[in-house]
Structure formats: structure tokens, C-alpha cells
Amino acid sequence: MTGNATFRHENTALLAVTSVEAPVVVSSAEFDERLAPSLKRLRLSKRLLERVAGVTERRWWSPGSDFDDAAIEAGAKAMAEA
């Protein structure tokens, strides 16, 4: 599907709302390691991303994962909680 889509539903109910988190945790420390040569060359301190943005970690989906996989997982979890 490309672009935006509009859906209209009648006689429906929302029984559960849930979320799923991507399984791969990437810390700001890992980014610092990857960026170390550039940070050093630019004379920037370590933990710059964490201090400026306040983000200590982010979550990524595994290579090959698609948004459909996450949607299916979230849908199954919501149905189990409903």
C-alpha cells in the first residue's frame, strides 16, 4: 500500500489497545562507539546524543522484518487481551 488510506467502519468496537516493542535494543553507548572517530575528529564529547536528545536507547526491528510482522504481533496480543 502506498500513500494514505481512509477507512470508515460502522457498528464496530475497539476492545483492546496494545503495543509491541522492536526486539533489538541499540544503546546510545553503541552509537558513541560507532561515531567515536567522527566525535574525536570534531572534538565532540561522548554521550552527546544522550545529553542533547535524552535518548538512552532505541529499538530496531530485525533485518528482514516488515511492518506487517509487527502489526500481526500487536493484533494477536490485542485479541488475547480483549
Residue 22 · residue 61 · CB < 8 Å: yes
Provide the Cα torsion 43, 46, 48, 49; round to 10°: 130
C-alpha distances in Å from residue 60, one per residue of 10, 44, 55, 67, 78 = 35, 26, 14, 12, 21
The C-alpha cell at 31 is: 552509537
Task: Tell me the one-letter amino acid at 74.
Answer: A
pTM of this prediction?
0.62
The least confident of 6-10, 23-27, 34-38 is 6-10
pLDDT band per the 50, 70, 90 thresholds, residue 59: very high
Residue 2 has pLDDT above 80, yes or no: no
